[in-house]
Structure 1
Amino acid sequence: MKRRFIIDAHLDLAMNAIEWNRDLTRPLEEIRLREMHLKDKNDRGRGTVCLPELRKGRVGLVVATQLSRVNAAGGALPGSSWHSPQQAWAMTQAQLAWYREMEALGEMVQIVSLQQLNAHLELWNDETIADDKKPIGYVLSLEGADSLVDVSYLHKAYACGLRAVGLAHFAHGRYAPGTKMEGPLTTQGVELLKEMSKLNLILDVTHLTDEGFTQAMDLYDGPVWASHHNVRKIVPVQRQLTDEQIKLLIEKGAVIGGMLDCWAMDSRFIDTVSDPWQLNIRLENLVDHWDHICQIAGNSRHVAFGTDLDGNFGTEQSPWNMNSIADLQKYEAILSARGYKDEDIDNIFYKNWLRFLRKAWG
């Protein structure tokens, strides 16, 4: 039986390529081998994502990020942090240049319109072409808006294909406070939402504070999604979605991408301390979060993949029964065993994100 197509709505590909110095065109084992003796990051030698593995898993369309924060006060934060907006903007341009190089090689193709989306799906449905010969499609997203020097830069980014924006990431942000923080959007953040609406950009509510989430949902009249979020009822930390937030997202027609970071699936897991195998954290754990959202919605139309794999972590912080992103295909059997029908599995694998994009861009 032909394996299902998959859309993953959150991968930090360019960050891994530029800052981790990973050549994502190469086989995964080769990338891991190159990093065997490196100690600068916790996930060295433990990556799970590269372009060959995406093709192997039929993950043919991804939402790929630019990620670069301003952290003028200093201090360690996950990913790229800079002392000025200009430095942060320059890093996003380096990341964009990497995506352009992947396009030049035929490894990836940027998707910015409904016409391109339909053509890309037609290509991936063409069984006369081997999957390992097909480019990975990507929708460009900005994770945290700090790098936009001012609101006018949003138009520069849009012209380069940016189609989704998250206002916040970690810590204090120029447009909104992020994970582990409290408080509303900044004045600039409110202004940015107005400009985003003019361009019909997708608002990603991931990483917003509770107050910022409510404010953004009230203010924004364009398309909204939660690219990589799990359920607070199961893992009771601020980074997760409350039942009330889930209901608001469902009312907006949003889709919520389930993430495979162990701490976001099981409240027992502690970063850099716990072991997924010892705690028996498996791919199956994510289905508990999906189930919870499906019960609130009354259907399977609002959950999907937003894995965040290799987002500052690797196999040391991923389900123990997953070696690479290609193992997302295991969810067909997992979901079937949990009582999900073929239509539900299609929804989760690709149809929900596809339906969302078609509505947003149609």
Structure 2
Amino acid sequence: MFIFDAHLDLAMNAMEWNRDLTWTVEAIRTSEIGMSDKPDRNKNTVSLQAMRCGNVGLCVATQIARYTKKTNPLPGWKSPQQAWAQTQGQLAWYKAMEDIGEMVQIRNLTELNAHLSLWGTAKEKKPIGYILSLEGADSIVSLDYLEKSYEQGLRAIGPAHYGPGTYAQGTNGEGGIGIKGKALLKEIERLGLILDATHLNDECFWETMKIHNGPVWASHNNCRTLVDHNRQFSDEQIKELIDRKAVIGIALDAWMMAPNWIRGMSTPRGLDVSLHIMIDNIDHICQLAGNVNHVGIGTDLDGGFGTEQCPYDLDTIADLQKIPNMLQQRGYSTEDIENIMHNNFIRFLERTWK
């Protein structure tokens, strides 16, 4: 089944982890044997080849670069200009992948339809379609830079990531969006960008929902009812997104899937973290909505973690093909499953870009 993955940090892996994503997953792992600078070395799950193997033909691919002020303990760049430059390097990598036929940027409905047609008919090697998204807006030096990004193909943006941000407060952050955040939301709406609600802390989430009138989705977010942490959405937040015709992509980071996960100590097998928990999250959103129209796949695979912190029954991203059968076993119809695996996000784009 064709799969739309609404959140992959492909350029981050290429530019910061120094992974050649044109290699196989196995080749990347072999090249990292003996490396210890990051906990997921030799444990990656994503490559462009693995995406093709799993029929993951379309994704939302990120630019990401945090600007950290002196009081912020999180890792990041020392100035917004440096953060901007990092995102430009990531964009250059995407463009280089386009130059060799590995990827193709999708910016509008015409390009989307052409890409879906290609993946539905062509037998030869096909490029991975990507919709460019900015995860955390700290690299937007001023609002003029957001328009520059739009001209470069940016089509979605999450105002915050982890902790305090320039425009909004993210996971574990405190406070609201402030004057700069409100101005950013107006510019997002003017440009017709998709607002990604993922990572907004509760106060910023509800402020944003009150004042923002443009399209909203959540690229990679799970359910707080199942894991009680502010990184997840409460049922009230999920219902708000449903009312706004949003789609929520379910993520595969184990600490978001197991309520008692301890970073660096817990293991997926030890806490029985399998793809069945993804199905639990999907099902919970469907029950809240009363239909299957507001949930999809947003794995965040290789988003700073690998097989040490994702479902134990997933070795590479190609194993997402296990999900349709698991949904069928839960009583979901073929049409339901197609909606979850790709059609919900595609229909969202059709509405937004028409």
- Alignment pair present for 1:23 and 2:20: yes
Task: Please report how far the alpha carbon of residue 89 of structure 1 lies from its aligned counterpart in structure 2 after TM superposition.
Answer: 0.3
Distance in 2 of aligned mates of 1:270 and 1:109: 38
- Kept in 2, the 8 Å contact 1:177–1:183? The answer is yes
Count of paired positions: 354
Question: d(CA) in 2 for partners of 1:82 and 1:239?
Answer: 23
> Structure 1 residue 122 and structure 2 residue 117: aligned?
yes
Aligned residues of 1:228 and 1:256 also touching (Cα < 8 A)? yes
SS of equivalent to 1:70: coil
**Which residue pairs with 1:85 in the alignment?**
80
TM-score by length of 1: 0.96
Counterpart in the other structure of 1:49:
46
2:335 aligned counterpart, secondary structure? helix
Structure 1: distance between partners of 2:147 and 2:340: 32
CA apart distance, 1:177 = 1.0
Which of the numbers 27, 30, 33 marks the counterpart of 1:33?
30
For 1:74 and 1:222, locate their aligned partners in 2 and report how far apart those are by CA, in whole Å.
33
CA contact under 8 A between 1:74 and 1:83: conserved in structure 2? Answer: no
Find 2:277's aligned residue among 285, 296, 299.
285
Instruction: Tell me if 1:106 matches 2:117.
Output: no
- Residue of structure 1 equivalent to 2:61: 64
Judge conservation of contact 1:232–1:242 (CA < 8 Å) in 2. yes
The residue aligned with 2:199 is: 207
Q: Tell me what 2:239 maps to.
A: 247
Aligned sequence identity (%): 56
Residue 104 of structure 1, CA deviation: 0.3
Counterpart selection for 2:165 from 169, 173, 179:
173
CA distance in 2 between counterparts of 1:26 and 1:338 reads: 35
Shift of residue 197, structure 1, vs aligned partner: 0.7
SS in 2 for 1:102: helix
Within 2, Cα distance between the matches of 1:95 and 1:272?
A: 28
> Structure 2-normalised TM-score?
0.99
Aligned-partner Cα distance in 2 for 1:360–1:257: 17
Structure 1 runs, 4 residues or longer, greater than 6 Å off: none
CA RMSD of aligned residues (A): 1.0
Output the amino acid matched with 2:32.
E
1:332-351 per-residue CA deviation (whole Å, 9 max, x = no partner) reads 11111111111110011100
Q: Which residue of 2 aligns with 1:12?
A: 9
Q: Check conservation: 2:67, 2:77, Cα contact below 8 A.
A: yes
Residue 75 of structure 1, CA deviation: 6.1
- C-alpha deviation, 1:300, in angstroms: 0.5
What displacement does 1:160 show? 0.2
- Sort the Cα spacing of 1:77 and 1:310 in 2 relative to 1 into closer, same or farther, 3 A: farther
Tell me, in whole angstroms, the C-alpha distance in 1 between the residues paired with 2:37 and 2:169. 28
| Unaligned ranges ≥5, structure 2 | none
